[in-house]
Amino acid sequence: MSSHSSSAAEHADITATREWSALVAHHREIAPLHLRDLFATDPGRAEAMTATGADLVLDYSKHRITRDTLSLLVALAHRAGLPARIEAMCTGAHVNTSEDRAVLHTALRLPRDARLVVDGRDVVADVHAVLDRMAGFAEAVRSGAWTGHTGERIRTVVNIGIGGSDLGPVMAYEALKDYARRDLECRFVSNIDPTDLAETLRDLDPATTLFIVASKTFTTLETLTNAGHARAWLLAALGDQAAVTRHFVAVSTDAEKVRGFGIDEAAMFGFWDWVGGRYSLDSAIGLSLMVAIGPARFAEFLAGMHALDQHFRTARLEANLPVIAGLLGVWYANFFGAETHAVLPYSQYLHRLPAYLQQLTMESNGKSVRGDGVPVKSATGQIWWGEPGTNGQHAFYQLLHQGTRLVPADFLGFAEPHHALPGEGAADMHDLFMANLFAQTAALAFGRTAEEIAAEATPAALVAHKVMPGNRPSSTILAPKLTPAVLGQLIAFYEHVTFVQGTIWGVDSFDQWGVERGKVLANRLVPVLSQNGPDPEDLDASTAALIRRYRALRGR
């Protein structure tokens, strides 16, 4: 299957359907209800509103829904053609319509014995051929068989990439640090702010440093600029052009451009145009992660993703984790008018997860036309943000608890810690940590009434300040432990949440034309900023004035 996968369902105005109208009416009934009452009148809801998939448990009972809500949302998903869309994506139809491309990140984690023929080629064989080459290279670096130009073993791997070629690798490296070799550090350079490269390299020894230049297109200004300076830094120390072959490898879809940079094909790990940048961590873009945790752990990570893919493809929509979570996001974004969605991992190892999810969700669903180019009639992609608990509790949770805005949130927690340390009294430290997660979701949902507060002999003038309105929705996602497999499941979960929402909104979740425009403009402005560049005459008055001021400040 290789053609466009446009269907009537995809391009219908979803807000004009009777399923949407039913949800508008249902929202009018639900909006005045409080979670306190919803729990009081339905004692079985905690159990009924808990779903499992692979190792993940999703408790969605603390949402402003009744048992009818999910059926109505699922009816909307059927109206949007979700089951057919899932199959279309996973079998290689060109669901990225504006770029006429298949979207096959799920193929990157198919087991070796699977077969998926797309556009006449078995992509599984191609995927595993690259994985095998990556594994050989990763083992060589880890064992010391791959040495630098002077014969010394590699001590630091620096991944140079940006967007999907950075956020996934750095997030997963941080998340799985407990599985990584500690005598082989990975660092990540992304920003074209010269500070990023300078600070990353300042204490490194060129003889023991390996660069992975990660760029799908191999045209990205930030990455090529940083890579060029990194090469100059290396050559300034080692003096021999031949050193590049021992200290630079590339990950890209464009062999010719990689060769143009001076890295030959033997040192290149490829992937394909059907892997979107923000969906590419499980392609060769994950090479730094594989070097860090080893091929076997990387295989566990892929198997975790595949397990969640299977769940997504086979579980009925009412019991399907990404479908439930995706539809709840639609419920708040479109019927309650919630602008944002918080991700609150109770794991310090997941401190880069919110940044990773920002690209995944916002670059995917931050669109205002449907796949057929017609303007959408509903709000689309929410603003995703977050920080690990408990740090966030001492920063922005005040607004979550008592502010005027509705912020649905995902709380992520793990039963087993990576480090068993004693806490206060009899509790271990991980129990203290998890007690905070459970306490926050309960406080958000149920709040505290003025009566409860007054009953504690609170001075009358303070009662209003202490009232916790409650009725603030959250999901709790629990897993046994943050292993490579569980991280894989979590990432696949959020990829599919994004897909479910994009399908309801009818947008192409796999292009990013808005980002492209910024790149073109920046390139146009580069010469204008420089010493002998043209005066910024044809620019708007504000930008022209700012550039003149900048030039003056730099003495130009």
Q: Which residues bind ligand F6P (CB under 6 A)?
A: 162-165, 215-217, 220, 223, 277-278, 363, 512, 515
- Contact assessment for residue 409 and residue 325, using Cβ atoms and an 8 Å cutoff: no
E-state strands within 100-241: 117-118, 121-122, 156-160, 185-189, 209-214
* Number of Cβ atoms within 10 Å of the Cβ of 470: 18
Active site residue 394: yes
Residues 6+ apart with CB under 8 A from 499: 85, 86, 89, 322, 326, 509
Q: Which is nearer to ligand F6P, 251 or 321 (CB)?
A: 251
> Within the chain, how many helices (H) and strands (E) appear?
23, 13
Segments of 307-381 assigned E as strands? 340-345
Cβ-based nearer residue to ligand F6P, 517 or 554: 517
Options 47, 256, 394, 424, the catalytic residue: 394
Q: What are phi and psi of 250, to 5 degrees?
A: -130, 150
Q: Which residue has the tokens 């004692």?
A: 43
Catalytic pick from 363, 367, 387, 496? 363
The span from the CA of 272 to the CA of 124, in Å, is 12
Query: By C-beta, is 524 or 554 nearer to ligand F6P?
Result: 524
Sign of the alpha-carbon torsion through 148, 149, 150, 151: positive
Q: Is 519 a catalytic residue?
A: yes
Nearest Cα to Cα of residue 134 among 319, 316, 294: 294
Nearer to ligand F6P, 169 or 392 (CB): 169
Whole-number minimum distance, CB 336 to ligand F6P, in Å? Answer: 30
27 is an active site residue: no
Nearer to ligand F6P, 268 or 485 (CB): 268
* Annotated active-site residue in 4, 78, 377, 519: 519
What DSSP state is assigned to residue 468?
A: B
What are the angstrom distances between the C-alpha of 477 and each of 108, 118, 192, 322?
25, 34, 36, 11
Nearest distance, CB of residue 514 and ligand F6P, angstroms: 9
CB nearer ligand F6P, residue 238 or residue 285? 285
Least Å distance, CB 383 to ligand F6P, is 17
Q: Which residues contact 195 (CB under 8 A, 6 or more apart)?
A: none
Q: Which is nearer to ligand F6P, 260 or 337 (CB)?
A: 260
Angle among Cα 47, 301, 364 to the nearest 5 degrees reads: 75
DSSP 335: I
Least Å from the CB of residue 65 to ligand F6P: 34
Residue position matching structure tokens 């023991």: 208
Taking the complex as a whole, how short is the minimal distance between the CB of residue 217 and ligand F6P, in angstroms? Answer: 3
Residue 539 and residue 534: Cα distance in Å, rounded? Answer: 11
Least separation in angstroms between residue 252's CB and ligand F6P is 8
Of 179 and 218, nearer to ligand F6P (C-beta) is 218
What is the closest distance, in whole angstroms, from the C-beta atom of residue 206 to ligand F6P in the complex?
24
Least distance (Å) between residue 202 CB and ligand F6P:
24
Report the C-alpha gap between 317 and 74 in whole angstroms: 7
Q: How far apart are the C-alpha atoms of 499 and 510, rounded to whole Å? A: 9
| Active-site amino acid positions | 363, 394, 519
